[in-house]
Structure 1
Amino acid sequence: MGESTATNNHHHHHHHNGQVYDVSVNMPMQFCSKVVDDDGRPQRTGTVWTASAHIITAVIGSGVLSLAWAIAQLGWIAGPTVMFLFSFVIYYTSTLLADCYRSGDPLFGKRNYTYMDAVRSNLGGYKVKLCGLIQYLNIFGVAIGYTIAASISMMAIKRSNCFHASDGKDPCHMSSNPYMIAFGVTQILFSQIPDFDQIWWLSIFAAVMSFTYSSIGLGLGIAQVAATGTIKGSLTGISIGTVTQTQKIWRSFQALGDIAFAYSFSIILIEIQDTIKSPPSEAKTMKKATLISTIVTTAFYLLCGCMGYAAFGDLAPGNLLTGRILQPVLASRHRQCSHCHPFSRAYQVYCQPLFAFIEKWAAAKWPDSGFITKDTNIPILCLKQPYKLNMFRFVWRSLFVVSTTVISMLLPFFNDVVGILGAFGFWPLTVYFPVEMYIAQKKIAKWSTRWICLQMLSFACLMISIAAAAGSVAGVVLDLKVYRPFKTSY
């Protein structure tokens, strides 16, 4: 394929004022340093395993932390069932999405590099703007979620140390704000790294880290069950009496949102698919990768969620790493940083598309502004090439991080925020757009059996999303009754 385009290029002349310019003889020369793919981009090298690793890294993040709480709301029967249902839906819509990476022919069709590109080439019109809006709001929300989760986790460590030092006599009240600010500052630094996605070792490191830290949660659950010798929890979840009838309903809905959040990874799938080498077609490889990663994350989530519930029963905390119960257990020092890494990596992975989008848009809108387009070279010790400082990138990314940090300080109730995000991102990005794009791409006839089934799936998921959003909003309303901004302490 690459060869044929290269040879065609030589016979490609432009006629202009009767003269013949041979334009593209030089074209292959620029790329001699790197082998290129059919679209002139550097050769992709991804495999099933790298793709699965990417997905798993991106998914197993802060979602794990509220799962024990979610299962506690639903109970031993409904909890795992709902998780299986979600994982099935996610896997299915991800396979639909994999087919939308190339428009037309699955091997040689035009590539879509991002989720937005796929929506643009398959649906077009106002839906592209709608998708962009939801996607970027979602990313903004995820950034807030990660800031809250990271600071809460760092705080849990600090408190457990303080707890230990005083042998549990000091209640160790502290504010989460300094931690949020610290996290924000590290993110400002990280966000200035251009091409964050090319640092593959970071991805591997982060994958290991997020597993470590989720397994801490898991280990704590197992330890607790072993210590007490009883498996807590009930078949129907938290009992009415502990909470009122209406609260039980709202919290069950919110639990759906939390689980949806733990599974919402469609937004990054196309970007990951864009790293895969072909043949076989990228879609084929991607479907395998999604299957592997869905199975791994579901198994992992069930373990974490169920162990947390078995350990703490109805009292399972909204964020596993902060529940009071864990304070003494968490104190061992060597776990100190395992909490912060996955968040900072995940924060960057999620925010990069948004950063890139705004920068591209600004450069197109004001092409002559030096502030936006000019790069200043700053030599840095021990780096081969100097660091390119772009003023606009610096200012805009810093502002972004600052705003998410401030909002996190105002909104510290982790699992409500997670529930709202899960609810708002889940249906449009995970179900609606993939289904619509697939219908458009495969030209599925209206009212055919296939079409009706897809629409029913989409409608059912919409209902779940609405219920989850309602439950989470109800949760926030309840929390706000007892809440004082900037004063959060645990």
Structure 2
Amino acid sequence: MENQGKKTALTQEPLEIDEAGQTPTDLDVDDDGRERRTGTLITASAHIITAVIGSGVLSLAWAIAQLGWIIGPCVLVAFSLITWFCSSLLADCYRSPHPVYGKRNYTYGDAVKVNLGVVKYKFCSLAQYVNLVGVTIGYTITTAISMGAIKKSNCFHQNGHDADCEASNTTNMIIFAAIQIALSQLPNFHKIWWLSIVAAVMSLVYSTIGLGLAIAKIAEGGQVRTTLTGVAVGVDVSGSEKIWRTFQSLGDIAFAYSYSNVLIEIQDTLKSSPAENKVMKKASFIGVSTTTTFYMLCGILGYAAFGNHAPGNFLTGFGFYEPFWLIDIGNVCIAIHLIGAYQVFCQPIYQFVENLIRKRWPNNAFVTTEHIIKVPVFGEFPLSYLRLTWRTLYVMITALVAMIFPFFNDFLGLIGALSFWPLTVYFPVEMYMAQAKVRKFSVPWTWLNILSFVCLVVSVLAACGSIQGLIHDLGGYRPFKVS
């Protein structure tokens, strides 16, 4: 019985031959036997922009107001350079032991396990999935606030800027959760490339609207006070508030650049030629440079427009009231963008849990069976009872937590603080040094460790500031209230 099958270079498992004498590799699969990847520089850049330009951009005017004209822009540039540099290191870890010819690592955790061992893999998984859960909760909060801002904007336009206009964030979170339950039935990351492109366009639109409104407000020439060091002690805030707000602003900026935790998953959508790491480095440069341009413009011009009293969210905090229709468009774009961004960040969670369940119950029909149903307009759609139950439960839980703790700035700052050092800096640096066999106490080893230590200190300070802000917000707070 010779020529029963061929073997792949990576798996060494026999592959069936079809009637034409072809293996799946000859048909439509990659070198690892999985469905052929079709991602390009454009789709990867869209995924990155979708993941990076999120709700973080809305808080940058406030963050710059806490830091001032000198330190604020410098911190923004520093975070962008660190994010881009460490993302380039991480892109080389998608394949191991060689960045071009090695075996694929399908997730961030896989890359850590191969390069750094099981112990650090467990620490990485904890940090990554806690961060991903936090981001999905944060996006639920932000989308609900933006949806409520549309109602408030129309109310202020009709009844005056001093009117008592209220909107239920709880109701908006339920609507958002219902949309996410439907979108979460899409099987995997590869099937949502179109959603990322739509979301990336929306992020650029609402950032541009915020930028235009800030320029218009500056052109009005109102009395706005800005300073080189930001909010003034004894005038705007107390000494202790200045310190805590400074720390929290670092967390907000760190959150604005958070995407390393899904970088490997994004890279796993790319075609294998040209080499994935080269395409991913270009995509990272395009994504980070594009977002930094918008961040600088929105943060600096937002501070110039509002001064030391910049709102925490400059499209929903009603620093702007008119033209109300443009503010509505901006908030609609935020909602659409974050609907897509939620999926970008929750897909790794879905895949992780579902892989564990399939390994635990490989022969359970509830877990493994796919039912093909016909959906009008969209055609055939694969429905899984596992996806339907588990993903629905996940969306409901994150929505419930968002309803209980709907604090925009503090929540974003805490997520950014907790994820920045381990996921954006520490693991990429450690994996790169292990894979490239960087010699201990050499010049590259010394500078990379200095970078990691400095970022650790920044993350700790940012976390302290955000936790203090959350404690302050919880004083006298009533869950599920209308605001």
TM-score (ref. length: structure 1): 0.91
Distance 1:288 1:339, change over 3 A: closer
Q: Describe the SS at the equivalent of 1:108.
A: coil
Q: CA deviation at 1:229?
A: 5.6
Q: Percent identity, aligned pairs only?
A: 53
Q: Which moved further from structure 2: 290-299 or 155-164?
A: 290-299
Partner of 2:158 in structure 1? 165
Select which of 190, 198, 204 maps to 2:183. Answer: 190
Tell me if the contact between 1:63 and 1:261 (Cα under 8 Å) persists in the aligned partners: yes
Equivalent residues in 2 for 1:273-284 (5 A)? 273-284=267-278
Structure 1 range deviating more: 203-212 or 247-256? 203-212
SS in 2 for 1:388: strand
Alignment of structure 1 residues 225-240 onto 2, 5 Å:
225-228=218-221, 232-240=225-233
| 2:324 alignment counterpart | 330
Which of 375, 391, 395 pairs up with 1:397?
A: 391
Quick one: which amino acid aligns to residue 413 of structure 1?
F
Identify which of 140, 159, 170 aligns with 1:177. Answer: 170
Identify the match of residue 474 of structure 1 among 451, 468, 471.
468
Which piece of structure 1 moves more, 117-126 or 40-49?
40-49
| Per-residue deviation, 1:22 | 10
Could you say which residue in structure 2 is the equivalent of 1:73?
66
1:204 aligns with 2:223: no
The residue type paired with residue 295 of structure 1 is S
Distance 1:73 1:259 in 2: 12
Residues 480/460 of structure 1: CA separation in 2 closer, same or farther (3 Å cut): same
Provide structure 1 residue ranges, at least 5 long, that are not aligned to the other structure.
1-8, 15-20
Between 317-326 and 347-356, report the one with greater CA deviation: 317-326
- Residues 373-412 of structure 1: pairs in structure 2 closer than 5 A: 373-385=368-380, 387-412=381-406
* Preserved CA contact (<8 Å) 2:196 2:341: no
Does the 8 Å CA contact 1:34/1:43 hold for their aligned counterparts?
Answer: no
**Does the alignment pair 1:350 with 2:345?**
yes
SS at match of 1:431: helix
SS at match of 1:378: strand
Partner residue in 2 for 1:287: 281
**TM-score calculated relative to the size of structure 2:** 0.92
CA offsets per residue over residues 380-429 of structure 1, 9 Å max, x none? 334432x3332221111111111111111111110100000000011110
Query: CA, structure 1 residues 103+119, in 2 after alignment: closer, same or farther (shift >3 Å)?
Result: same
Cα distance in 2 for partners of 1:208, 1:363 equals: 36
The within-5 A match list for 1:192-271 is 192-195=185-188, 197-228=190-221, 232-241=225-234, 242-271=236-265
- Structure 1 residues 44, 391: CA separation in 2 closer, same or farther (over 3 Å shift)? closer
Q: Select which of 363, 372, 381 maps to 2:367.
A: 372
**2:78 is the alignment partner of 1:85:** yes
Contact 1:250 1:471 in 2 (8 A): yes
Q: Deviations over 1:232-288 (max 9, x none)?
A: 421100111211101101100000000000001111211222233344432222222
Answering whether residue 24 of structure 2 is matched by residue 31 of structure 1, we say yes
8 Å CA contact 1:102, 1:110 repeated in 2: yes
Residue 292 to residue 32, structure 1, CA distance change in 2 (3 Å): closer
Deviations 1:153-212 (A, max 9, x none): 011111010111213352213331111111111111111222353243322221111111
Aligned residues: 474
Q: Distance in 1 between matches of 2:166 and 2:81?
A: 42
In structure 1, how many angstroms separate the alpha carbons of the residues matched to 2:98 and 2:15? 31
Q: Which stretch shifts more, 229-238 or 338-347?
A: 229-238
What's the counterpart of residue 293 of structure 2? Answer: 299
Preserved contact between residue 315 and residue 331 of structure 2 (Cα < 8 Å): no
Q: Does 1:139 align with 2:123?
A: no
Structure 2 CA distance for partners of 1:178 and 1:248, relative to 1, 3 Å: same
Deviation of 1:479 after TM superposition, in Å, equals 1.2
User: Counterpart of 2:149?
Assistant: 156
TM-superposed deviation, 1:432: 0.8
Are residues 275 and 380 of structure 1, via their aligned partners in 2, closer, same or farther at CA, if it must alter by over 3 Å?
closer
Residue 51 of structure 1: how far off its partner (Å): 2.3
Counterpart CA distance in 1 for 2:69 and 2:23 is 60
CA offsets per residue over residues 447-488 of structure 1, 9 Å max, x none? 222212111111110000000000000111111124222225
User: Residue 10 of structure 2 aligns with which residue?
Assistant: none
